[in-house]
Amino acid sequence: MTVIHAVPQDVVSAARIDPSAVRSVAGGGEAVRCCLRDAVAGEELVLFNYEPPLPDSPYREKGAIFAHAVACGGPDSTEYPTEWVGRPQALRAYDARGWIHPATRTHDGADPATALADVLAQDGVVEVHSRNIAYGCFMFTATKD
């Protein structure tokens, strides 16, 4: 079984008080990484740099993501976010060293749960980062249960 992990709540809590984070009001549709859904127009958001945890490797990277500006309770489940089905994504696979694994691929959004399961089933893959294709933004981490 594939388990979907949002950005950890302690990271989001720290970002909410970080003076370098940018506060904004959602126009609607922004992918919110604290609860793995799209923002509704008018919600207060915080935009901050996030570095998904990986072992020390050349493939670590940091990028901007949105979260709610106030605590939201996190995602409703550990399954693929239903609002994001249909969105093409890059599935960046990593091995235990934190190096990108050759199982890395994209999917068209039609059946993301199966695409993730297929990547995670490859020998040596320990986690997958789902990323926005156009911007390259981190969406979530997926692991095997």
User: Which residue ranges make up each domain of the chain?
Assistant: 2-68, 82-144
- The pLDDT tens digits of the residues spanning 52-98 come to 999 999 999 999 999 999 999 999 999 999 999 999 999 999 999 99
- DSSP bridge partners of 32: 37, 66
Q: What is the model's pLDDT at position 142?
A: 98
Q: Is the pLDDT of residue 145 over 90?
A: no
Query: pLDDT exceeding 70 applies to what percent of the chain?
Result: 100
Q: What is the model's pLDDT at position 52?
A: 96
Distance, in Å, from the CA atom of 120 to the CA atom of 94, rounded to the nearest integer, reads: 9
